[in-house]
């Protein structure tokens, strides 16, 4: 059985996703270089991964309401918004998205528990539409109504709904089976993930959507990466140094989230 409070595989994915976000934002100005372009693209699984593991964490925790948790999420966000002021930052949208999903959590959880397949299907179709519309707009095909162009769709929960609902659908026993399967099949799963990553990179290059993480192919790429990382985490779970590093990353993930962009900009000005 998985441990009652902490799931190492989720903490491992969270830590690597945190690193991926730093690489993503740090490589954005250098994508003319082929290695930087590849790094910039393969790290775009990070935000969907954060939302997916948030859903999984809530599913295995047994919680039914998140209202007591909202101030702990909202207060630091408001503080850092004041700190950053009018700076144009690429990462602060994540907390409003998470707040929207947390407010919907009791309803989504009931739907997932009662109508799992239907809820997954509907959430997939909603997120597919929300990802497809800005993707097509980037290709010169604008189908969005005016009121959805500003604010951007990635600030709104439909774009990310499928990842959260997918996480909620993975109860403790299902998660255990999936991680065990991923560990057993890590080599072919890694090969499949690399193939999907290669297609993801090629699509970004051909279509010119390399600055976009919101696109239909992400709905395949991000869950594939998460499954592969879960298998890798299971394989590495006996290594005490890795467990300590992951625990450290998990403990400081919120601080890194809020401060990494300003640190990267400071380093860029040296």
Give the confidence band of 15 by pLDDT, cuts at 50, 70, 90: very high
Give the three-state DSSP class for 149.
helix
Query: Which of 177, 178, 210, 162 lies closest to 48, judged by CA?
Result: 162
Instruction: Assess contact for 38 and 201: CB atoms under 8 A.
Output: yes
Q: What is the mean pLDDT of the chain?
A: 88
What integer pLDDT is reported at residue 261 of this predicted model? 83
Query: How far lies 49's CA from each of 120, 134, 247, in Å?
Result: 17, 20, 18
Is-cis flag, bond preceding 220, omega within 30?
A: no
198-216 pLDDT, tens digit per residue, is 999 999 888 887 888 888 9
What backbone phi and psi angles, to 5 degrees, belong to 32? -65, -25
Considering the chain, what percentage of its residues have pLDDT values greater than 70? 93
Phi/psi at 37 (nearest 5 deg)?
A: -60, -45
Question: Is 1's pLDDT higher than 50?
Answer: no
Task: Report which DSSP code applies to 31.
Answer: T
Q: Is the pLDDT assigned to residue 3 strictly greater than 50? A: no
Q: Is 33 helix (H, G, I), strand (E, B) or coil?
A: coil
Q: Which helix (H) or strand (E) holds 171?
A: none
Rounded to 5 degrees, φ, ψ at 140 are 95, 10
pLDDT for the residue 2 = 41
Residue 217 CA to residue 196 CA, distance in Å, equals: 9
Instruction: Quick: pLDDT tens for 124-153.
Output: 999 999 888 878 877 888 877 776 665 566
Lowest-confidence range among 55-59, 88-92, 98-102? 88-92
Angstrom distance (rounded) from CA 268 to CA 130: 34
Picking from 94, 73, 104, the residue whose alpha carbon sits closest to that of residue 18 is 94
Question: Quick one: pLDDT at residue 87?
Answer: 67
Would you say residue 6 has pLDDT above 80?
A: no
**In 10 A of CB 21, how many CB atoms?**
24
The answer to whether residue 89 scores a pLDDT higher than 70 is no
Mean pLDDT check: name the lowest of 38-47, 51-60, 258-267: 258-267
Evaluate if pTM is beyond 0.85.
yes
CB 52 within 8 A of CB 166: yes
Supply the pLDDT for residue 160.
95
Distance CA 209, CA 137 (A): 10
Let me know if 119 is exposed, middle or buried by CB neighbors in 10 A (0-12, 13-18, 19+). Answer: buried
Tokens of 260: 């990494």
| Greatest C-alpha distance within the chain | 55
Residues 6+ positions from 182 with CB-CB distance below 8 Å: 189, 227, 228, 230, 231, 232, 234
Name residue, tokens 């693209």.
41
> 52, 222 in Cβ contact below 8 A?
yes
Residue 132 exposure: Cα atoms within 13 Å on the Cβ side:
7
Which two structure tokens, joined as six digits, stand for 252? 């400081």
């Amino acid at each position: 059985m998985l441990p009652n409070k902490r799931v190492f595989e989720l903490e491992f994915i969270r830590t690597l996703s945190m690193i991926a976000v730093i690489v993503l934002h740090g490589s954005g100005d250098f994508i003319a270089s082929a290695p930087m372009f590849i790094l910039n693209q393969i790290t775009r699984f990070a935000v969907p991964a954060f939302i997916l593991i948030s859903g999984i964490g809530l599913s295995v925790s047994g919680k039914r309401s998140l209202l007591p948790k909202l101030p702990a999420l909202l207060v630091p966000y408001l503080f850092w918004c004041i700190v950053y002021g009018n700076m144009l930052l690429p990462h602060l949208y994540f907390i409003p998205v998470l707040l929207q999903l947390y407010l919907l959590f009791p309803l989504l959880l009931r739907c997932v528990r009662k109508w799992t397949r239907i809820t997954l299907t509907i959430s997939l179709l909603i997120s597919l539409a929300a990802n497809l519309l800005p993707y097509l707009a980037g290709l010169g095909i604008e189908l969005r109504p005016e009121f959805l162009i500003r604010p951007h769709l990635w600030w709104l929960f439909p774009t990310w709904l499928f990842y959260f609902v997918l996480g909620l659908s993975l109860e403790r026993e299902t998660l255990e089976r999936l991680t065990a399967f991923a560990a057993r099949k890590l080599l072919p799963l890694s090969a499949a993930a690399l193939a999907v990553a290669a297609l993801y990179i090629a699509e970004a290059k051909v279509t010119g959507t390399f600055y976009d993480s919101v696109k239909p192919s992400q709905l395949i790429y991000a869950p594939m990466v998460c499954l592969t990382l879960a298998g890798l985490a299971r394989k590495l779970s006996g290594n005490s140094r890795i467990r300590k590093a992951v625990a450290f990353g998990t403990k400081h993930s919120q601080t890194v989230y809020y401060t990494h962009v300003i640190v990267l900009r400071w380093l860029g000005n040296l």
